[in-house]
Amino acid sequence: MPASHATATAATFVWLGMVLAISFIEAPVKFRAPGVTLKVGLGIGRLVFRALNACELVLAVLVVISLLVGEPGRGAAIALGVAVAVLLGQMLLVRPALTRRSDAVLAAPEGVEGPGSRAHLWYVGLEVVKVVALFAGGILLLAD
């Protein structure tokens, strides 16, 4: 396996692991912890997802550079391109709506949850697409 493929494969699976750990384990579990209110959970979530997205962006750049340097199969390139596009969509289109919602909740008086938002559902749906794309891209890179 060429070094560019190895780098892309490693970055892909690290990225996949981070998304699974944060989005599908940490995020829902934190709200079940004793004493964690909606406001506290949102405050923590904003920090955690800002850090996750920064790490994802670094890994996405590493994957893209590795794919440009190497000669990946078409399937791997498409799958990983989908993952990168989803990440950018989340960061540029969905996260601003989530930020507005969390700002409203954090500014609301105690006992008032603030306005609802479908942005969270969009974010989760896109996370599922991203996980599938990363898994498929990583497997296809291993098969190259």
Encode the chain (144 residues) as per-residue pLDDT tens digits.
788 889 999 999 999 999 999 999 998 888 888 888 888 888 888 899 999 999 999 999 999 999 999 888 999 999 999 999 999 999 999 999 988 888 887 787 776 666 667 888 899 999 999 999 999 999 999 998
> For residue 36, what pLDDT is reported?
86
**Residue 13 to residue 56: CA distance in whole angstroms:** 11
3-state secondary structure at position 115: coil
Q: State residue 113's pLDDT score.
A: 66
Structural domains in the chain (count): 1
Domain of 133 in residue numbering reads as 3-143
For residues 96 and 63, is the Cβ–Cβ distance under 8 A?
Answer: no
Half-sphere exposure of 144 (CA within 13 A, CB side): 23
Per-residue DSSP letter, 94: I
Whether the full predicted model's pTM is greater than 0.85, yes or no, is yes
Q: How far, CA to CA in Å, does 58 sit from each of 12, 15, 137?
A: 11, 10, 17
